[in-house]
Amino acid sequence: MGTNFSGQVAIVTGAASGLGFAIAKKLRAEGGDVALLDLNDAALQKAANEVGANATAFAIDLTKQDQVETAVAQIAERFGRIDILVNSAGVTGATNIKSHEVDPANLRFVFDVNFMASFFTARAVLPFMLKQNYGRILHIASVAGKEGNAGMLAYSASKAAVIGMTKVQGKEYAETGITVNALAPAVIQTPMVEVMPPEQVKYMTDKIPMKRCGTLDEIAHMAAFIVSPETGFTTGFTFDMTGGRATY
């Protein structure tokens, strides 16, 4: 077990399963205190137990600003600081449909979870990070936000918005000791992907030169690298994890 994050406090959203759970486990294994945020209370409690000691669960609706601000304030009060935020809560929404068939209500829901929730959490933690002149924010985006996946308007557009926010925040806080970066994976083997139509998954995997999904361990390793104290001269950047799909 490393001690890379010893004495640091991390908030991970979407931590009940998938990417968030893998990242929370990784940060805890490397010595960090981790607060897990997700909507699914039962799954979240189970995840927190698996992550281990000093893992705290907050079952909240991340699309509700007041709930986010209350949880962040409680975490700051409990641990005395907030060093890391990883926004990995996300939904695909309805997929495998053309833009003219997209339900505006579903589009709005996807934006609320993928973009607004990330905005709310970052907005809530930044004052604490500014006070300590240190922070690491990582927004989980997607290669779909860079290139657009046909049949996935809501998801692609919301992740493009996350990348845009990352660029803005990276510049805004560049002189404060706070870095804000994004991670743009191609398709990763997660519960979210397992419930997608097989043809949508094949469409995405066929674009990957490695011809496979990424793994949760690969994502967790890269996320830990990005939010580590040593990664201090990169901000506003979108890291690639696409098995060779994105090469610039």
| 3-state DSSP assignment of residue 84 | strand
Beta-bridge partner residues of 84:
10, 136
Superfamily of domain 9-241: NAD(P)-binding Rossmann-like Domain (3.40.50.720)
pLDDT band at 89 (very low <50, low <70, confident <90, very high): very high
- The single residue listed with the structure tokens 């799909």 is 245
Residue 37: its pLDDT value, please?
98
For residue 84, pLDDT over 80 is answered with: yes
Cα distance between residue 181 and residue 183, in whole Å: 7
Is the pLDDT confidence value at 1 over 50?
A: no
CA–CA gap between residue 186 and residue 208 (Å, rounded):
8
Which of 107-116, 117-126, 130-139, 142-151 shows the lowest per-residue confidence on average (mean pLDDT)? 142-151
- Give mean pLDDT, residues 88-100: 94
- Give the C-alpha separation, 80 to 99, whole Å: 46
- Tokens coding 136: 């690491």
What's the pTM value of the predicted model, to 2 decimals? 0.95
State the catalytic residues: 155
